Amino acid sequence: MTFVELNISGVVEIIPDVKGDERGGFFRSYCQQEMDKINMKPIVQMNHSFNVQKGTLRGLHYQKPPHQEQKLIRCVHGAVWDVFVDLRKNSPTFLQWDKVILSAEKMNSIFIPEGMAHGFITLENNSELIYAHTAFYQPQFEAGLSFDDKMLNITWPTKPTIISDRDRNHPHLSDEFKGIEL
Ligand SMILES: Cc1cn([C@H]2C[C@H](O)[C@@H](COP(=O)(O)OP(=O)(O)O[C@H]3O[C@@H](C)C(=O)[C@@H](O)[C@H]3O)O2)c(=O)[nH]c1=O
């Protein structure tokens, strides 16, 4: 595995070490020994989302303390424009965002630390993602940000074609938002 640090501290793109042969290929999609190097906690939940149409947007989501979580996300079919926003109080990159393209072809994944909001838009029809989480789903601690929040000014490659009612109606940020204390 090769770890590539992105512009938000603690966010890491993971490039797998693919061993190819005449049968196809093989790579380790998870290895706790390797993930210890970037302080990933034990996985307690795995989720899978499939998205029929190109332009489907999910996010931006996070869980509030004490149920904040790390996520490890990989696209196993198709491709997505994956976005993460730093919500950590006192972080030098507070309210900054960055993105990575995750694709089945690249076989890359992204490690997102606690205190981030996360979302994506699909770049191809039938895009599927697998997420590993380090905290259980706690709907009463779920929170969201608007994908088109003016303060964040996120660049999306296309307008969303499909988005849930919940994601369309997340609150917009104001100066009162001081960040998440972990
Ligand atoms: C996230 C989640 C949802 N659900 C349920 C709630 C709802 O009925 C249905 C779909 O949930 P959502 O609409 O929240 O699914 P979705 O919008 O795909 O939520 C995901 O979005 C991306 C961007 C993330 O980062 C993930 O952590 C997760 O929040 O599944 C669970 O049962 N367990 C879970 O862990």
| Predicted local distance difference test score (pLDDT) of residue 122 | 98
Atom 33 of ligand 1 has which residue's CA nearest to it?
137
The best mutation among 44, 58, 70 to test binding of ligand 1, ranked by most ligand atoms within 8 Å of the C-beta, falls on 58
Q: What is the pTM of this model?
A: 0.96
**Looking up tokens 């699909």, which residue turns up?**
122
Q: Distance between CA 177 and CA 115 in Å, rounded?
A: 13
**122 contacts 128 by C-beta, under 8 angstroms:** no
What HEC string does 22-84 produce?
Answer: CCEEECCCCCHHHHHHHCCCCCCEEEEEEECCCCEEEEEEEECCCCCCCEEEEEEECEEEEEE
Neighbours of 180 (CB within 10 A): 21
User: What's phi and psi for 167, nearest 5 deg?
Assistant: -70, -25
Q: Are 27 and 107 spatial neighbours (Cβ–Cβ below 8 Å)?
A: yes
What is the pLDDT tens value at each position of the chain, 182 positions in all?
999 999 999 999 999 999 999 999 999 999 999 999 999 999 999 999 999 999 999 999 999 999 999 999 999 999 999 999 999 999 999 999 999 999 999 999 999 999 999 999 999 999 999 999 999 999 999 999 999 999 999 999 999 999 999 999 999 999 999 999 98
Q: Which two tokens stand for residue 110?
A: 């992204």
- Residue ranges per structural domain of the chain: 2-168
- Give ipTM to 2 decimals: 0.97
Q: Please determine, looking at this structure, whether the domain spanning 2-168 carries the CATH number 3.50.50.60.
A: no
Q: Which of 75, 78, 82, 81 is nearest to 53 (CA)?
A: 78
Identify whether the C-beta of residue 17 lies closer than 8 Å to the C-beta of residue 27: yes
Cα(112)–Cα(138) distance, integer angstroms: 18
Largest Cα–Cα separation, the chain: 58
pLDDT at 154 (0 to 100): 97
pLDDT confidence of residue 48 = 98
Is the CB of residue 59 below 6 angstroms from any atom belonging to ligand 1? yes
Question: How far does the centroid of ligand 1 lie from the alpha carbon of residue 47, in Å?
Answer: 8
Q: Which atom of ligand 1 is nearest to the CA of 164?
A: 13
**118 included as an active-site residue:** no
